[in-house]
Chain A
Amino acid sequence: MKLRHSTSSGNDKIELQMTPMIDIVFQLLVFFIMTFKIVSQEGDFNIKMPLAAPAAGTPDELQVETIRVRLEADGTGRLARMSFNDRVLSPLQFDDQGSWVNADLLRSEIVAVIGTDRGPGSIQENAEVELDCDFGLNYRHVIEAITAVSGYVGDDDTVIKLVEKIKFAPPRPVTGG
């Protein structure tokens, strides 16, 4: 039997088939582009609000009187007036988008109450803020107020915590806002 010799000589260039690879690569690329979504980071403000009032008992010596922050809205839901323990804070400043910008107004009051002590048993740990909001108030102002009482970002980008216990006062009745 005659064996057929290969006609290829050693100098032949081996050509890789690029087409299937490029097909797959482009399919992958299209898939990733289509599923790509820029999502902004989100975070939570934790609040604990049991329905039942805490059981009456011996008052804790470290119990600090609840700080009351009242947020009043105008007819459009915009923050119109803010009170700290029944004392009106002013002036409130807003940016072009209607966001309240001078949070330091409320924060300085909080800092004055809780002082600079931190750690277990400190006033800062036990202080509690009660937010009393108008029904029609835009929710973003609540978050702005919670941000102001919760803490702030320091110079070195670290978060300095203030009050961690936040609760809502009973809802107010529906008004025009």
Chain B
Amino acid sequence: MRIKKQQESGILEGDLTPMIDMTFQLIAFFMVLINFTQSEQNEKVKLPSSVLAKPAKAPIEFPITLHLTEDATVVVGGQETTIGGIGPFLIREKNVLEIQGKSPDDATVVIRAHRVAATGRVQELIKACQENSFEKFALRAKEDVGNE
């Protein structure tokens, strides 16, 4: 029996359609989920969790975010300082508010303290802000999705 030799010298083409489908689906998935908002977070701070900690419906108008780590270091604007050394930063923030025609009462100090930070340190931080006329505070917590 004579075996017929394959004469086709064409290019082998794989079917790319499923791969492209899948890739576009992945791109769509990541595009939808991507969040470009500047989230004020710090890796050193592990927030306490609470079932009532729901994301605010409206953003805070003038937020000043202070991170307090476990060892009582304050991280503000990417710079580390101590609770005692926060004064100059707060004065600067106060000046910025005054330039905008606002007062420190209009700003909210967002405190992101580590879950095992000493409460006394948090209170010291609050006191340092109070001394610079800030009086609205927001204690930040992570949303606890599990059951209470």
- Pairwise interchain contact B30-A137, C-beta atoms closer than 8 A: no
- Pairwise interchain contact B139-A41, C-beta atoms closer than 8 A: no
User: Does A103 lie at the interface of the complex (its beta carbon under 8 Å from any beta carbon of B)?
Assistant: yes
Chain B facing A: main interface SS: mixed
Nearest B residue (CB) for A136: B118
Give the Cβ gap from A152 to chain B, nearest Cβ, in Å.
8
- Pairwise interchain contact B27-A32, C-beta atoms closer than 8 A: yes
Report which of A36, A46, A146, A177 forms a contact with B30, defined as CB distance below 8 A. A36
Report which of B30, B52, B120, B126 forms a contact with A151, defined as CB distance below 8 A. B52
- Pairwise interchain contact B27-A44, C-beta atoms closer than 8 A: no
- Pairwise interchain contact A135-B53, C-beta atoms closer than 8 A: no
CA distance A147 to B24 in the complex (A): 43
User: Does A139 lie at the interface of the complex (its beta carbon under 8 Å from any beta carbon of B)?
Assistant: yes
Report which of A45, A137, A141, A153 forms a contact with B148, defined as CB distance below 8 A. A153
- Pairwise interchain contact B55-A77, C-beta atoms closer than 8 A: no
Set of chain A residues within 8 Å of B35, measured between Cβ atoms: 37, 39
User: Does A26 lie at the interface of the complex (its beta carbon under 8 Å from any beta carbon of B)?
Assistant: yes
CA distance A30 to B18 in the complex (A): 18
CB contact under 8 A between A139 and B117, given known A50-B130, A147-B51: yes
Give the Cβ gap from A81 to chain B, nearest Cβ, in Å.
14
Residue-wise, chain A 113-132 has the 8 Å CB interface mask toward B (1 for contact) of 00000000000000000000
- Pairwise interchain contact B143-A44, C-beta atoms closer than 8 A: no
Report which of B16, B54, B118 forms a contact with A177, defined as CB distance below 8 A. B118
Which of A103, A139, A153, A174 has the most chain B CB atoms inside 10 A of its CB?
A139
CA distance A48 to B24 in the complex (A): 49
Residue-wise, chain B 37-79 has the 8 Å CB interface mask toward A (1 for contact) of 0010100000111111111100010000000000000000000
- Pairwise interchain contact B118-A139, C-beta atoms closer than 8 A: yes
CA distance A174 to B50 in the complex (A): 27
- Pairwise interchain contact B52-A171, C-beta atoms closer than 8 A: no
Report which of A21, A39, A44, A147 forms a contact with B56, defined as CB distance below 8 A. A44
User: Does A14 lie at the interface of the complex (its beta carbon under 8 Å from any beta carbon of B)?
Assistant: no
User: Does A42 lie at the interface of the complex (its beta carbon under 8 Å from any beta carbon of B)?
Assistant: yes
Give the Cβ gap from A137 to chain B, nearest Cβ, in Å.
4
18 new A-B contacts at CB < 8 Å, known A51-B127, A134-B119: A22-B23, A32-B26, A32-B27, A35-B34, A40-B143, A44-B53, A44-B140, A44-B141, A77-B116, A139-B113, A139-B115, A142-B48, A147-B51, A151-B52, A168-B126, A171-B120, A171-B123, A172-B120
Which 9 pairs from chain A and chain B are nearest by CB? A135-B120, A32-B30, A43-B53, A140-B48, A44-B138, A51-B130, A171-B123, A143-B48, A41-B143
